[in-house]
């Protein structure tokens, strides 16, 4: 028997509920969260739209298989805490994924309603129950199995490392997470800005893990401060998970890249988010003063949107996205592009920089751009952008942020001799068990796959945790 | 006062604004090699800055830092005493100095650059080289580590800009004289202000003397993650934090480094002015 009081036709007649948000003109000048979240009325309306399919495609569309249909049913029952617990069975950080997952390519993209009626707002609902749970102060922390006496080291405290830590601690192992920076969270704290993911949420998730028994050691650069071999041989760890991400900036290799005012997105975002440069001089770390300046980001992913929207909030006069393909090929979440545009970000599509031009002091003053057109598809299936000869022009620019992807971090592989890597320095790991070439060492997340999403890294972390548990219990490699 | 972080075991001024610290850091002490650095953050709202490790005692689990108070963070650091804690100390970062027996090494250290040059100079001696140290400062009061350098150096030349101690002149004057005298030198290692390192590079270049400098660009994370510290070496971008901080002086674009290091001058001056205004209050907060 269906819980739904409505017929399918009545359900599809309900429009997709809109996420309440701060008006663009206000929010474009501060770092407060843009989306305000559903209240229970909106959540009920949206949940009513779910057709409760016999074979829910949304679950298949989720990289970690969150039981979407079940949690939506619990929302309809009004049992929001149970709904949150249901999500937590597969996704330990729903308040985070509800905000940053590219739902349109995952659960919502697979939703049967997506084509004709607009997908059920699964991300919004996930966020709603996660926030409800947080505010209730009744986060149901899972229990722990009896101690196994096994010690696990996790290298990196981003999404992959944190989700693995959550599982391994429940399975009864002793877990220590090592982080190179001074704050836990990896890309969740240095990369994703406050207005998209409030840091308080990350801190709460970390606090939950701490309460469950996970230990955190900040300021430890594995590969430098201590090596993987030392962790295994001298510090008594029985297994190590490498979850260091793909955090190295990719630059363009065009003239003028070292001018003052040209940033990698990693540096710009680290200064603004982790080091809180937007609150300079209350915080000590500065960032180049964007006020009344022309700022552009090169790239079309979430990082690019994050960076340019930060620049806007730092007072940029003109904030532009320079992207060599069209909007359809942009890897960013649809919502981020929409938000950026509403806030006043300009999009220079089918455009690519060929050189940064400086003044006599070595500061950026302009960028030389070239128009592009789309040619034949490349290996990613996207049509390759081709420069149009003779279409070059100059645009005044004082701050440029390069957000064209990241590379693997070599610190661990270069100090762990028997760890096999593949092209680009990414660690080779079995796709099912995430075992590396070195006994006792597993790897998960972007350091294996190359830059991907928070939820994929979390999924990989959980997969690794299962395989690590088996290794720790059986000793079999 | 920070309640967490690395404990300062000993602290004393070596010269005005130049302070010597022995800091508890067992993991770093075990791993540290000459030429490496740590990233340091002094308080919760603080910035991250790189500091070269002047030495370490693996048995005691401590490292030595020498800090010249120039900006807000270094001045705050220099208010700390034994028993205080430094909130964050991360390392050892960067590539160690290349330590090989090459023959005669001339170590040129200007000002607080002596702190960076010292561990490398000593290690060069340990590797079996003849080591000549040229140690310079603006005046006698600012001269640091003279005794330490003298303890192992085969020859020590001291210069001051004002002639208040040793030879009057710049370290480059002493180096020029050595080159003019046809003094044998197989490697020059220079650390100090950028103009000094650049001048050393120009002195040795025509003679084809291998010259290494330790660069000090602005850094944020110190692990290769941000690229803020990129320097142009041999026409290519290199990250000083992971590819350096030591580079072939004849390949370094010092002009580009000078320009990039001026990037936050306004902000640095503003932060410093605020610090001096609220000095007492801030010192209490840390």
Total domain count for chain B?
2
Within-domain flag for B252: yes
One domain, residues B144 and B186: yes
State the pLDDT at residue A1: 43
Contact A284 B220 (CB under 8 A): no
Residue B74 sits in a domain whose CATH number is 2.40.30.10
Is B224 close to A283, i.e. CB distance below 8 A? no
**Beta carbons within 8 Å of B100's beta carbon, 6+ residues apart:** B127
Domain boundary among B36, B66, B93: B93
Across the interface, of A266, A362, A363, the residue whose CB is closest to B225 is A266
Give how far B238 is from chain A: nearest CA, Å.
10
- CB spacing of B225 vs A288 below 8 angstroms: no
d(CA A205, CA A207): 5
CB contact under 8 A, A258 and B41: no
Within 8 A of A288 by CB-CB distance, chain B residues are: 263-264
**A13 Cβ partners below 8 Å, 6+ apart?**
none
Binary contact (B224, A260; C-beta < 8 A): no
Reading the block at residue B107, the tokens are: 């170590």
> What predicted TM-score, i.e. pTM, was given to this entire model?
0.92
Give CA–CA dist A27/A195, Å, rounded. Answer: 9
Q: Which helix (H) or strand (E) holds B131?
A: strand B130-137
Q: What one-character-per-residue DSSP string does A88-130 give?
A: HTT-S-HHHHHHHS-GGGTHHHH-TTTTTT----HHHHHHHHH
Nearest CA in chain B to A251: B227
Chain B hits for A361, Cβ within 8 Å: 259, 262
Question: What is the tens place of the pLDDT at every residue in A309-333?
Answer: 999 999 999 999 999 999 999 999 9
Other beta carbons less than 10 A from residue B164's beta carbon: 14
Cβ contacts of B139 within 8 Å, gap of 6 or more: B160, B161, B162, B164, B165
Residue B286 counted as domain residue: no
Look at residue A2 and tell me whether its pLDDT is greater than 60: no
B143 plus B214 within the same structural domain = yes
Q: How many helical (H) and strand (E) elements, i.e. helices and strands, does chain A have?
A: 18, 16
Tell me: the pLDDT tens digits for B253-270?
999 999 888 888 888 888
Is B227 in contact with A276 (Cβ distance < 8 A)? no
Select from A218, A219, A362 the Cβ nearest to the Cβ of B259.
A362
Cβ-defined contact of B230 to A289 (cutoff 8 Å)? no
DSSP conformation class of A271:
I
Q: Does A233 lie at the interface with B, CB-CB under 8 angstroms?
A: no
Q: Is residue B122 part of a domain?
A: yes
- Residue B85, pLDDT above cutoff 90: yes
Phi, then psi, of A355 in degrees rounded to 5: -165, 145
- Gyration radius of chain A over CA positions: 23
List pLDDT tens digits, range A220-244: 999 999 999 999 999 999 999 999 9
pLDDT category at A31 given cuts 50, 70, 90 is: very high
For residue B57, being part of any structural domain is answered with yes
Same domain, B136 and B220: yes
A361 at B interface, C-beta within 8 A: yes
Q: Is any Cβ of chain B less than 8 angstroms from the Cβ of A414?
A: no
Q: Is B87 within the bounds of a domain? A: yes
Q: Are residues B117 and B225 in the same domain?
A: yes
Phi and psi dihedrals of A471, rounded to 5?
-60, -45
**Would you state the pLDDT for residue B278?**
74
Q: Is residue B171's pLDDT more than 80?
A: yes
Same domain as B112, residue B76: no
Domain match, B174 and B205 both = yes
For chains A and B, what is the number of CB pairs under 8 angstroms?
Answer: 120
CA-to-CA distance for A100 and A335, rounded, in angstroms?
A: 10
Provide the domain limits for residue B148. Answer: 104-262
The answer to whether residues B175 and B207 belong to one domain is: yes
Same domain, B132 and B253: yes
A227 Cα to chain B: minimum distance (Å): 10
Per-residue pLDDT tens over the stretch B100-124 = 999 999 999 999 899 999 999 999 9
Question: If pLDDT is split at 50, 70 and 90, which confidence band does A62 have?
Answer: very high
Report CB contact under 8 Å: A362, B88: no
Q: Which residues contact A7 (CB under 8 A, 6 or more apart)?
A: none
B18, B123: one domain: no
- Cβ contacts of B228 on chain A, cutoff 8 Å: 263-264, 267
**Contacts (Cβ under 8 Å, ≥6 apart) of A80:** A40, A74, A128, A129, A132, A133, A136
For residues A403-430, average pLDDT: 92
Q: Are B257 and B231 in contact (CB under 8 A)?
A: yes
Percent of chain B with pLDDT over 70: 97
| pLDDT per residue as tens digits for the range A92-106 | 889 999 999 989 999
**Positions of E strands within A214-334:** 215-217, 239-242, 248-249, 262-264, 294-298, 318-322
Using the Cβ of A283 and the Cβ atoms of chain B, whether some distance falls under 8 Å is answered with: yes
Give residue-wise pLDDT tens across range A149-167.
999 999 999 999 999 999 9
Q: What is the CATH number of the domain that holds B198?
A: 3.40.50.80
pLDDT for B280 equals: 61
Question: How many whole angstroms separate alpha carbon A457 and alpha carbon A469?
Answer: 18
Note whether A284 contacts B256, CB cutoff 8 Å.
no
Question: Is B172 found in the same domain as B54?
Answer: no
Same domain, B121 and B204: yes
Q: Is residue B99 included in any domain, yes or no?
A: no
- The reply to whether B273 falls in a domain is no
Residues of A in contact with B227 (CB under 8 A): 248-249, 251, 264, 266-267
- Please tell me the distance in Å from B244's CA to the nearest CA on chain A: 14
pLDDT at residue B285, as a whole number: 58
Give the mean model confidence (pLDDT) for residues B82-93.
95
- B224 and A275 within 8 Å at the Cβ level: the answer is no
For residue B34, being part of any structural domain is answered with yes
Separation CA A190–CA B278 (nearest Å): 29
Beta strand A262-264 with A399-402: parallel, antiparallel or unpaired?
A: parallel
For residue range A177-210, list pLDDT tens digits in order. Answer: 999 999 999 999 999 999 999 999 999 999 989 9
Higher pLDDT, A280 or B107: B107
Confidence at residue B279, expressed as pLDDT on a 0 to 100 scale: 67
Task: Note whether B93 contacts A275, CB cutoff 8 Å.
Answer: no
Q: Specify whether B80 is located in the same domain as B169.
A: no
Q: Are A257 and B237 an interchain contact pair (Cβ–Cβ within 8 Å)?
A: yes
């Amino acid at each position: 028997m269906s819980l739904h009081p409505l017929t399918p036709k009545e359900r599809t007649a309900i429009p997709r509920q809109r996420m309440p948000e701060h008006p663009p003109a206000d929010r474009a000048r501060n770092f407060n969260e843009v989306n305000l979240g559903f209240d229970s009325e909106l959540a009920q309306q949206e949940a009513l739209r779910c057709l409760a399919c016999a074979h829910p495609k949304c679950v298949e569309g989720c990289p970690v298989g969150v039981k979407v249909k079940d949690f939506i049913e619990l929302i309809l029952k009004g049992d929001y805490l149970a709904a949150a617990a249901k999500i937590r069975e597969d996704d330990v950080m729903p308040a985070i994924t509800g905000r940053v997952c590219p739902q349109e390519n995952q659960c919502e993209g697979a939703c049967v309603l997506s084509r004709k009626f607009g997908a059920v707002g699964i991300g919004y609902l996930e966020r709603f129950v996660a926030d409800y749970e947080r505010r209730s102060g009744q986060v149901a922390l899972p229990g722990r199995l009896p101690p196994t006496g096994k010690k696990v080291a996790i290298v990196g405290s981003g999404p992959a490392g944190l989700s693995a830590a959550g599982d391994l601690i429940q399975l009864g192992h002793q877990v220590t997470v090592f982080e190179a920076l001074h704050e836990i969270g990896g890309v969740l704290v240095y990369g994703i800005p406050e207005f998209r993911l409030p840091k308080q949420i990350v801190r709460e998730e970390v606090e939950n893990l701490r309460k469950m028994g996970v230990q955190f050691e900040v300021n430890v650069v594995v590969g430098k401060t201590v090596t993987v071999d030392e962790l295994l041989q001298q510090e008594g760890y029985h297994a190590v998970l490498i979850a260091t991400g793909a955090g190295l900036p990719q630059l363009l290799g065009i003239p003028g890249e070292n001018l003052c005012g040209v940033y990698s997105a990693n540096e710009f975002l680290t200064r603004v988010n982790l080091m809180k440069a937007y609150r300079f001089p209350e915080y000590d770390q500065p960032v180049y003063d964007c006020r009344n300046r022309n700022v552009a980001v090169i790239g079309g992913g979430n990082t690019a949107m994050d960076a340019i929207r930060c620049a806007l909030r730092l007072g940029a006069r003109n904030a532009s996205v320079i992207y060599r393909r069209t909007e359809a090929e942009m890897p960013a979440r649809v919502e981020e592009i929409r938000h950026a545009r509403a806030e006043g970000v300009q999009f220079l599509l089918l455009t690519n920089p060929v050189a940064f031009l400086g003044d006599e002091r070595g500061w950026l003053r302009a960028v030389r751009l070239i128009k592009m057109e789309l040619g034949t598809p490349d290996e990613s299936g996207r049509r390759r952008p081709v420069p149009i000869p003779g279409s070059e022009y100059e645009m005044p620019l004082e701050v440029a942020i390069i957000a064209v992807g990241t590379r693997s971090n070599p610190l661990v592989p270069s100090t762990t001799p028997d760890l096999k890597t593949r092209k680009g320095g990414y660690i080779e790991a079995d796709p099912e068990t995430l075992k590396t070439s070195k006994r006792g060492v597993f790897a998960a997340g972007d350091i294996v796959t190359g830059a991907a999403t928070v939820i994929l890294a979390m999924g990989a972390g959980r997969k690794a945790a299962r395989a690590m548990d088996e290794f720790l219990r059986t000793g079999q490699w | 006062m920070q309640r967490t972080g690395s404990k300062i075991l000993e602290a004393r001024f070596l010269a005005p604004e130049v302070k010597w610290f022995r800091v508890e850091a067992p993991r770093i002490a075990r791993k540290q090699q000459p030429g490496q650095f740590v990233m340091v953050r002094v308080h919760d709202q603080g910035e991250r800055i790189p500091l070269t490790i002047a030495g370490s005692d693996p048995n005691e689990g401590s490292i030595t830092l020498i800090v010249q108070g120039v900006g807000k963070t270094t001045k705050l650091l220099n208010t700390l005493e034994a028993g205080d804690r430094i909130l964050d100390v991360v390392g050892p970062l960067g590539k160690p100095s290349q330590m090989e027996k090459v023959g005669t090494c001339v170590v040129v250290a200007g000002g607080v650059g002596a702190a960076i040059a010292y561990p490398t100079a000593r290690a060069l001696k340990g590797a079996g080289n003849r080591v000549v140290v040229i140690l310079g400062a603006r005046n006698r009061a600012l001269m640091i580590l003279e005794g330490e350098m003298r303890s192992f150096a085969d020859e020590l030349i001291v210069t001051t800009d004002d002639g208040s101690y040793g030879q009057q002149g710049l370290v480059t004057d002493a180096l020029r004289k050595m080159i003019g005298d046809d003094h044998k030198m197989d490697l020059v290692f220079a650390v100090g202000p950028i103009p000094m390192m650049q001048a050393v590079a120009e002195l040795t270049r025509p003679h084809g003397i291998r010259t290494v400098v330790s660069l000090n660009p602005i850094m944020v994370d110190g692990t290769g993650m941000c690229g803020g510290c990129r320097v142009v070496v041999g026409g290519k971008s290199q990250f000083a934090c992971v590819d350096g901080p030591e580079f072939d002086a004849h390949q370094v674009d010092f002009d580009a480094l000078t320009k990039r290091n001026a990037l936050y001058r306004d902000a640095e001056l503003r932060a410093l002015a605020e610090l001096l205004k609220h000095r007492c209050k801030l010192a209490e907060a840390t």
